[in-house]
Amino acid sequence: MPNVKHFRMVDVISKKRDGASLSKEEIQYFIDGCVDGSIPDYQTSALLMAIYFQGMEDRELADFTMAMAHSGDMIDLSPINGIKVDKHSTGGVGDKTTMAVAPIVASCGVKMAKMSGRGLGHTGGTVDKLESIPGYNTVLDKESFFNQVNKIGVSVIGQSGNLAPADKKLYALRDVTGSVPSIPLIASSIMSKKLAAGADCILLDVKCGSGAFMKNVSDAVTLAQKMVAIGEHNGKRTMAYVTNMDIPLGENIGNALEVKEVVDVLNGRGPADLTLECEELSATLLMMAGKGDRPECIAMVRKAIENGEAMDKFKEMVQAQGGDISVFDNPEEFTRAAVCYEVKSDREGYISAMDTESIGIASTMLGAGRETLDSIIDPTAGITICKKTGDKVNIGDVLAKFYTSREELLSPAVKRYYEALSYSQQAPEKSKLVYAVVDKDGVTMR
Ligand code: URA
């Protein structure tokens, strides 16, 4: 008889419920059963909820992540020459940094073969955003993907069907059973995909605040540390930024609107917060790839924006993937929605806080995101934010502009937006954009 251990799922669930650590074999049994469908969704969901409450110790988290990574293809990027870098955000509102960072680093000579995701809940996804560019193809076969990165240094596509299929299954269940905001579940979900995607260096952007899954800095730093430890343990140079998601990033939310804002950043005319974050993340990726120290890498990034090489690289990537780059000559046209509505302030004072998750939901309600799995995205729907936290507003000032193809969607979204704003009579304290940077040597608070 082969030495195969047999488990009962109910015992695995009970063990975790009672706070014990699962063995490597129990974890493998669970992940195999998830992928082959032999474990029913109700038992999978029960284990996820037990993990949500009991957490995981480091050894257990490492085993869980590796089992998820190996549940599908482990992509070998070695046909692409040189060091390959990857970045991943834990999810935010108005977070369009990947679309700017990928061409910036490629224009500085570092390759990025990036697989991105679609919008999830109130957060947007790079693939949906890029698909708002007419003709842009997010589905390339492996050979075309590798060839493109070898030739022009960059490609951003959707995740291949068999990349960490266990995560796909678990994420869908977490999304509908209230177990998304769990540190070990987020860490394993993200790192399994990053390890399977094959890059040499991984930069994580851990979002923190009202629009993020991690609501406070301490939890966000812990998540960042766990993910850095998993990456380093697997021989990948891994770093993490912990960044502010109490305020939407930049001024635009929605797919075509976010592409237009990326074009502004690449042309050197982007909003200050978004530009700064894109510069920081790009420079860090260059440093990780051995291009120089921090001041040298920041200078390289700024130069690539100033001399137009970053924008040229973006156009080259879009064109290589079938996208129509003429839209960048006339972005007003490309982002024009059938309906534009100005949301005006009914009071005066300072905006003291924005419930950024609600603002993401308001954008989804206009058609920019999915309400159900099969919703069709309206590429021109979204929000341009005119007043952000810290701004003084008077009665009648325009707080935001709402765009949609369907007028009937306006009213509930506007209500949600008003409810998301808090006011004060004094100017609130200015918040930081970057809270911390985490690498294998520790945490540096900013
Ligand atoms: N993004 C992911 O890919 N997984 C999570 O669990 C959360 C954000």
Cα-flanking dihedrals φ and ψ of residue 235, to 5°?
80, 15
Separation CA 437–CA 446 (nearest Å):
7
342 within 8 A of 198, measured Cβ to Cβ = no
Mutate to test the pocket of ligand 1, among 88, 163, 186, 219 (most ligand atoms within 8 A of CB): 186
Give per-residue pLDDT as tens, 143-183.
999 999 999 999 999 988 799 999 999 988 998 888 989 99
The question of whether 88 is a catalytic residue gets the answer: yes
Give per-residue pLDDT as tens, 352-384.
999 999 999 999 999 999 877 678 899 999 999
Closest to 237 measured CA to CA, from 141, 144, 110, 400 = 110
Neighbour-count burial for 83-93, b at 16+ CB within 10 Å, e otherwise: bbbbbbbbbbb
Looking at ligand 1, which residue's alpha carbon is closest to its atom 5?
186
What one-letter code names the amino acid at 342?
E
Residue 431 zone, left/alpha/beta (φ > 0; ψ -120 to 50; rest) = beta
227: CB partners within 8 A, 6+ apart:
187, 190, 191, 204, 206, 238, 240
Separation CA 102–CA 130 (nearest Å):
13
Give me the pLDDT at residue 374, please: 76
Looking at ligand 1, which residue's alpha carbon is closest to its atom 8?
90
pLDDT band at 339 (very low <50, low <70, confident <90, very high): very high
Separation CA 407–CA 411 (nearest Å):
8
Give per-residue pLDDT as tens, 277-311.
999 999 999 999 999 999 999 999 999 999 999 99
The token duo for 148 is: 């493109």
Q: Which atom from ligand 1 is nearest to the alpha carbon of 117?
A: 3
Give per-residue pLDDT as tens, 404-435.
999 999 999 999 999 999 999 999 999 999 99
Give me the pLDDT at residue 5, please: 66
Only one residue has tokens 């808090």, namely 422
State the sign of the Cα–Cα–Cα–Cα dihedral 223, 276, 351, 339: negative
Q: Which atom from ligand 1 is nearest to the alpha carbon of 174?
A: 6
267: CB partners within 8 A, 6+ apart:
305, 308, 311
Domains of the chain: 9-69 (1.20.970.10), 84-328+435-445 (3.40.1030.10), 339-424 (3.90.1170.30)
How many percent of the chain have pLDDT more than 70? 99
Burial of 70 (0-12, 13-18, 19+ CB in 10 A): middle
Q: Which atom from ligand 1 is nearest to the alpha carbon of 123?
A: 8
Rounded to the nearest whole angstrom, what is the distance from the C-alpha of residue 387 to the centroid of ligand 1?
A: 29
Closest to 21 measured CA to CA, from 61, 49, 68 = 61
283: CB partners within 8 A, 6+ apart:
294, 297, 298, 300, 301
The token duo for 267 is: 């042309």
404 within 8 A of 367, measured Cβ to Cβ = yes
Rounded alpha-carbon distances, angstroms, from residue 262 to 97, 178, 226, 351: 8, 33, 30, 26
Give per-residue pLDDT as tens, 84-130.
999 999 999 999 999 999 999 999 999 999 999 888 778 889 999 99
Rounded to the nearest whole angstrom, what is the distance from the C-alpha of residue 190 to the centroid of ligand 1?
A: 5
The pairing of strands 237-244 and 434-439 is: antiparallel
Count of alpha carbons within 13 Å of 225, Cβ hemisphere only? 13
- Mean pLDDT of all residues belonging to the chain: 96
Give per-residue pLDDT as tens, 197-221.
999 999 999 999 999 999 999 999 9
The token duo for 352 is: 């003291």
Separation CA 339–CA 383 (nearest Å):
12
- For residue 189 and ligand 1, the question of a CB distance below 6 A is answered with yes
Cα-flanking dihedrals φ and ψ of residue 307, to 5°?
-90, 5
Separation CA 154–CA 387 (nearest Å):
35
- For residue 243 and ligand 1, the question of a CB distance below 6 A is answered with no
pLDDT band at 10 (very low <50, low <70, confident <90, very high): very high
Give me the pLDDT at residue 119, please: 84
Q: Which of 63, 86, 95, 167 is catalytic?
A: 167
- For residue 90 and ligand 1, the question of a CB distance below 6 A is answered with yes
Residue 4 has pLDDT above 70, yes or no: no
Give me the pLDDT at residue 2, please: 52
Rounded to the nearest whole angstrom, what is the distance from the C-alpha of residue 121 to the centroid of ligand 1?
A: 11
The token duo for 408 is: 């009937």
Average of pLDDT values for 53-69? 97
Give me the pLDDT at residue 118, please: 86
Closest to 130 measured CA to CA, from 104, 168, 156, 101 = 156
The token duo for 75 is: 């992509």
Rounded alpha-carbon distances, angstroms, from residue 412 to 361, 406, 407, 418: 11, 12, 11, 10
Beta strands in 245-367 (DSSP E): 252-253, 339-344, 349-354
Q: Which of 107, 189, 192, 363 is catalytic?
A: 189
